[in-house]
């Protein structure tokens, strides 16, 4: 981190500039459903806790949580995705409306279930998750429909950065990726990716590629320990060059993040925090990283701010968007920030 010295005023300016950005988010959306309750005893029917429900809640999840983070950071998110023609799909659209998020990029598909993840939380700890979903790829006709929609938005709106938020639920296909990357390059729009295993090798030529360590290991079929950062950097460099990424940003949970580009390879340690729940941290990290990318921030600063944001949301139970004021307050305390 010796290479970086940033003035507080510059950080404040970056956070202020977030407000001028439009972000196109392409990815699998879902409903995050919560059952909150108390656990006082074990079931006589099986060795499992009995949760006495005290509250229920549904929230926007998946790529829609990225939209919430982008909105919380002051920028304008435009979400492109599919939902089913079902009660859950309608609930999702109602939640978008309630959050004042645009529905213009949402395609409704018959005979496809809207993804719902239900988390059962007892005594402030997650006990169980139930997933209702379809993981099959959307059809070629549906991909073409979605591409028409995405293309229209890119041509007619000022888009500052595109995020691919892949949850392996079938929305993002190699054809979709290739076409959107081609469109973005024509318009000079940076592309940022939060990948999953299935399409891991399909994101050739994107601006920023942000896997976590598990995804990197699965995608590269290697088992590298975080104890050997140099070896990890070499593997990331090799993959980055092969895939023609400008920058790779790899999150390492409690070990922080690695940023790797042609000019810079840096490991930024995590900040010591009281971790309550890691759900949704990756959504926050890609949101902050993408906004910084749109503003052409230096790679190390982008990585440091993204790293900070991921740690902050882990202090909250459940999937919650970042608090911009708190992130700014913490950012101003980073050791390379000068008066």
The pLDDT assigned to 318 comes to: 57
89-98, 237-246, 330-339: range with lowest mean pLDDT: 330-339
101-110, 130-139, 322-331: range with lowest mean pLDDT: 322-331
Backbone angles phi and psi of 143, in degrees to 5: -60, -45
Answer yes or no: 137 catalytic: no
1-5, 51-55, 242-246: range with lowest mean pLDDT: 1-5
The pLDDT assigned to 256 comes to: 86
Does an H or E element contain 208, and which?
strand 208-209
Distance CA 99, CA 163 (A): 20
Q: Angle 140-156/174-187 helices, nearest 10 degrees?
A: 10
The pLDDT assigned to 233 comes to: 93
The pLDDT assigned to 317 comes to: 54
Distance CA 225, CA 265 (A): 17
In the chain, % of residues over pLDDT 90: 75
Distance CA 157, CA 143 (A): 21
Structure token digits, residue 238: 């090799």
Q: What is the pLDDT of residues 126-160, one digit of tens each?
A: 899 999 999 999 999 999 999 999 999 999 999 99
Alpha-helical segments (H) within the chain: 8-17, 63-72, 87-98, 140-156, 174-187, 213-220, 229-243, 281-294, 299-313, 324-331
Do residues 268 and 257 touch, judged by C-beta distance below 8 A? Answer: yes
Q: What is the pLDDT of residues 218-276, one digit of tens each?
A: 998 888 887 889 999 999 999 999 999 999 999 988 788 999 999 999 998 877 555 44
Q: What is the pLDDT of residues 13-31, one digit of tens each?
A: 999 999 999 999 999 999 9
- Three-state DSSP at 200 gives coil
The pLDDT assigned to 311 comes to: 76
The pLDDT assigned to 339 comes to: 62
Burial grade of 141 (CB within 10 A; 0-12, 13-18, 19 or more): exposed
CA-wise closest residue to 304 among 292, 319, 322, 321: 292
The pLDDT assigned to 314 comes to: 66
pLDDT at 290 over 90: yes
- Three-state DSSP at 72 gives helix
- Three-state DSSP at 178 gives helix
The pLDDT assigned to 276 comes to: 44
Q: Which domains does the chain have, with CATH numbers?
A: 6-29+61-80+135-338 (3.40.1190.20)
Structure token digits, residue 220: 């590269």
Catalytic residue among 283, 299, 323, 335: 283
The pLDDT assigned to 277 comes to: 45
pLDDT at 95 over 50: yes
pLDDT at 319 over 90: no
Q: What is the pLDDT of residues 159-210, one digit of tens each?
A: 999 999 999 999 999 999 999 999 999 999 999 999 998 999 999 999 999 9
């Amino acid at each position: 981190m010796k290479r970086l010295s940033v003035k507080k005023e510059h950080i404040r300016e970056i956070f202020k500039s977030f407000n001028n950005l439009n972000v196109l988010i392409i990815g699998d959306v879902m409903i995050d459903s919560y059952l909150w309750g108390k656990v006082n005893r074990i079931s006589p029917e099986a060795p499992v806790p009995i949760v006495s429900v005290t509250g229920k809640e549904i929230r926007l999840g998946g790529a829609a949580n990225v939209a919430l983070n982008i909105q919380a950071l002051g920028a304008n998110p435009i979400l492109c995705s599919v939902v089913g023609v079902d009660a859950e799909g309608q609930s999702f659209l109602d939640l978008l409306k309630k959050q004042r998020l645009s529905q213009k990029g949402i395609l409704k598909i018959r005979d496809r279930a809207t993804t719902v993840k239900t988390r059962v939380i007892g005594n402030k700890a997650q006990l169980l998750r139930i997933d209702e979903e379809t993981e099959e790829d959307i059809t070629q006709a549906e991909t073409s429909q979605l591409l028409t929609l995405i293309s229209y938005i890119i041509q007619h709106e000022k888009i500052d950065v595109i995020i691919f938020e892949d949850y392996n639920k079938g929305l993002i296909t190699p054809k979709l990726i290739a076409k959107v990357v081609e469109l973005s390059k024509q318009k000079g729009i940076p592309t940022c990716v939060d990948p999953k295993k299935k399409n891991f090798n399909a994101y050739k030529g994107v601006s920023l590629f942000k896997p976590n360590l598990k995804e990197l290991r699965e995608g590269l079929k290697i088992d590298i320990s975080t104890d050997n950062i140099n070896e990890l950097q070499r593997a990331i460099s090799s993959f980055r060059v092969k895939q023609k990424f400008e920058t790779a940003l790899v999150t390492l949970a409690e070990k922080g993040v690695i940023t790797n580009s042609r000019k810079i390879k840096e490991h930024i340690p995590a900040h010591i925090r009281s971790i309550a729940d890691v759900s949704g941290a990756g959504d926050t990290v890609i949101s902050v990283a993408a906004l910084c990318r749109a503003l052409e921030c230096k790679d190390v600063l982008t990585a440091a701010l993204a790293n900070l944001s991921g740690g902050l949301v882990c202090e909250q139970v459940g999937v919650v968007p970042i608090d911009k004021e708190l992130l700014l307050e913490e950012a101003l305390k980073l050791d390379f920030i000068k008066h």
